[in-house]
Structure 1
């Protein structure tokens, strides 16, 4: 993803094998993608921030301090040259289809938290869904579940 977020992420996965918490590394990969969803349209408003924090705290156990640091790092750099492979590959290794679809739904939830879906948000979501091998039909169903509520 962004260079500084990658360095932050690597601090948690590139330490001695016996001290790595694989679940925490996975949660941070998820957090990085969810945070990028919030800021992808360059308008990371309070509704998106609140939805993001709720999902990261309740679903993935990411601490407020880690959320704050990751969010700050993501907002520092607004580069279009982004690589999500290191994050999505970890998710692919650990998530089944149901969990991946749930994550896509969470991304839609963040994107739609301000009441609209920007074209940048939809493009990002399509890219992540493709990297996670989520079928297009599931991608659309997830969107409709969020937009209808």
Structure 2
């Protein structure tokens, strides 16, 4: 058990070369997507397809590479005790637009089955907080994902300019 934790810690905290760093970011993102898929204790083929689609979109992977990444992420997620190691790695490397895109992808996985469970909602709020995503961006990402999964388009409503 301690050896597994040491491997996990070394895997995410040790300095990596650029290629390894990019791979670790992909794995960290995939673990978060898998955690959303597993949040309600039932992982379905629809959710798995949403995770693969998200990885393809976020990292320009082909289906085979994305599916292999999901398998690695599932193994890694089983060994992890929390999401902090993954979110901290993402915070170090991703700018805010990339973090918001990841949160939207997480929401797409959560909405993949057409309904949102309380466990999924809680996990998404926790992850968005750990990624320092502002509340407004978090809500917009949630609405865009919900509408995309239901086939609707979301218009982003911006406040009217103040009368001067």
**TM-score class normalised by the smaller sequence:** 0.7 to 0.9
> Is the contact between residue 40 and residue 121 of structure 1 (CA under 8 Å) also seen in structure 2?
yes
Once the two structures are TM-superposed, the CA of residue 146 in structure 1 deviates from its matched residue by 1.6
2:133 aligned with 1:134, yes or no? yes
Matched, 1:46 2:45: yes
Distance 2:48 2:6 in 1: 21
TM-score (norm 1): 0.80
CA distance in 1, matches of 2:106, 2:53: 13
Over residues 109-147 of structure 1, what are the superposed CA-to-partner deviations in whole Å (9 max), with x where a residue is unaligned? Answer: 000010001000000000000000001111111111122
Paired with 2:5 and 2:74, the residues of 1 have a C-alpha distance of: 9
Of 63-72 and 106-115, more deviation after overlay is shown by 63-72
The answer to whether the 8 Å contact 1:129/1:139 transfers is: yes
**Which deviations, in whole Å up to 9, do the C-alpha atoms of 1:68-119 show, x marking residues without a partner?**
2332554x57xxx932111111110111111111111000000001000100
Number of residue pairs matched by the alignment: 142
User: Which whole-Å CA distance do the structure 1 matches of 2:28 and 2:5 have between them?
Assistant: 10
CA contact (8 A) 2:27 2:72 kept: no
Q: Which residue of 2 aligns with 1:71?
A: 74
Closer, same or farther: CA 131–144 of 1 in aligned 2, 3 Å: same
- Which stretches in structure 1 are left out of the alignment for 5+ residues? none
SS in 2 for 1:116: coil
Is the contact made by 1:101 and 1:138 (CA closer than 8 Å) also made in structure 2?
yes
* TM-score, with length taken from structure 2: 0.73
What is the CA–CA distance in structure 2 between the aligned matches of 1:132 and 1:13, rounded to whole Å? 17
Q: 1:142 to 1:66 in 2, by over 3 A?
A: closer
Structure 2: 5+ residue stretches without partners: 149-164
Distance 1:121 1:6 in 2: 28
Bigger shift: 132-141 or 57-66? 57-66
Contact 1:51-1:113 within 8 A present in 2 as well = yes
